[in-house]
Amino acid sequence: MSGTLGDPVRHFADCREAGADLVGGKAYGLGHLTALGLPVPPGFALTTDAYREHLAAAGLLERVAALADGAVEPAAQAIAAREIEELFLASSLSGALQDAVHTAYRELGDEIPVAVRSSADAEDTADASFAGQQESYLWVRGAEAVTVHVRRCWASLFTPQAIAYRADRGIRSAEVAMGVVIQQMIPASVAGVMMTLDPVTGDRSQVTIEAAYGLGLGVVSGEVTPDRFAIDKVALCVRERVARDKRIAFAFDPDAGEVRPREVAQGDRERLCVHDDELLALTRIGKDLERELGVPQDVEWALGPGEPGAREVHLLQTRPETVWTKKARAPIAPAGSSPMERMIVTMRTPVRLRG
């Protein structure tokens, strides 16, 4: 299935080799997870080259550049964004590109629901939020719908904020490109995020997990207050479990045909939503990941349906943690100090009993 360099579609298994420039940061991270044999729902990426090809083939290159690069005022930027989105949605994929996407989609399964998500190569910087690269379309079904949402993802490169952000920095629209991830949806019973350190102290021997019922959308967007768990990744034990009031859960609503929030049953709201065994399974995965990738990670994950404690873990995305990783850290022991000298320093540090 592995394609040549020119292939617009790359399966996750090939995304690590393809590199972040070609498939975007999100697909690159999923490529890593897949290459490590970790449980990632199957899927594929559309390359940044495919995006460029589409612009050229659909004749959008100059029109988009003129609209985006010419808008200086916020009002103009908003109009440009709307017009560019319309251009993308009105355009059609070239026959070859469409065939490649449809084939790859059908290989995933028959009319199975997928997530269509943008995959830019600057996931860990401020660019990510400004450039609108966080677009995710959930529970997309059917080959036609997939190509529609691919174009939506592309268009999300030109939100008003993204246009303004690049205008401020003198970045021309021709310099940017967007990959797209198409990944099988997991009907998550619980989902959340995992950070392979303690965000408060930067303690790298810890893992922090936040989780809520349903799809991870609620946790990532902040619409649900998730349960919080602290796990010692070396001792492999759960240090802290904080149950929160999880009023809603995001799930696919078959009647509405889309993902919607639903009320969580009263008895479940304040119950811990992840079993210890699952926390430890996630932690082990986080450790492997961090060791392979060399730096602490932010991971999005989901648990499949089933009995608590026996649900399957799925990884949806990973990216390097940036806050603590970038922070310079002074050595703990003064260089060249002897154990005796350190002992004296410790003994002379009083424990405060008041105040």
Element (H, E) at 172: none
Which of 2, 103, 205, 221 binds another protein (CB under 8 A)? It is: 205
Query: Per-residue x/- mask for another protein, residues 38 to 57, rule CB under 8 A?
Result: --------------------
> Least distance (Å) from another protein to the CB of residue 74?
44
The answer to whether 153 and 179 have CB atoms below 8 angstroms apart is no
- Minimum distance between the CB of residue 73 and another protein, rounded to whole angstroms? 47
Is residue 294 near another protein by the rule CB under 8 A? no
Q: Least CB distance from residue 49 to another protein, whole Å? A: 37
Out of 58, 128, 238, 316, point to the residue binding another protein (CB under 8 A).
Answer: 238
- Which of 284, 287, 314, 286 has its CA nearest to residue 301? 314
Nearest CB to another protein, comparing residues 256 and 353: 353
User: Which region, judged by CB under 8 A, interacts with another protein, from 54-62, 82-90, 181-189, 203-211?
Assistant: 203-211
Q: Is residue 237 close enough to count as binding another protein by CB under 8 A?
A: yes
The span of 154-162, 176-184, 251-259, 346-354 binding another protein (CB under 8 A) equals: 346-354
Determine contact, residues 131/141, Cβ cutoff 8 Å. Answer: no
354 binds another protein (CB under 8 A): yes
Among 66, 75, 90, 333, binds another protein (CB under 8 A): 333
Region of residue 352 (phi > 0: left; psi between -120 and 50: alpha; otherwise: beta):
beta
Measure the CA–CA gap between 205 and 262, rounded to whole angstroms.
Answer: 36
Write phi, then psi, for 192 (nearest 5 degrees).
180, -155
Report the residue from 225, 250, 276, 285 that binds another protein according to the rule CB under 8 A. 276
241 binds another protein (CB under 8 A): yes
**One-letter amino acid for residue 52 of the chain:** R
Shorter beta-carbon distance to another protein: residue 102 or 241 = 241
Stretch in the footprint of another protein (CB under 8 A) among 79-87, 93-101, 153-161, 328-336: 328-336
Stretch that binds another protein, among 73-81, 126-134, 309-317, 338-346 (CB under 8 A): 338-346
Q: What is the CA radius of gyration of the chain?
A: 23
Q: Which range in 109-117, 201-209, 219-227, 308-316 contacts another protein by CB under 8 A?
A: 201-209
Whether residue 184 contacts residue 30, with contact meaning beta carbons closer than 8 Å, is answered with no
Q: Which long-range contacts (CB under 8 A, 24 or more apart) does 275-281 make?
A: 275/308, 275/309, 275/311, 276/238, 276/309, 277/309, 277/310, 278/303, 278/308, 278/309, 278/311, 278/313, 279/209, 279/229, 279/231, 279/238, 280/231, 280/236, 280/238, 281/313
Task: Using CB under 8 A, list all residues that contact another protein.
Answer: 198, 201-206, 230, 232, 234-235, 237-241, 276, 329, 331-333, 335-337, 339-344, 346-355
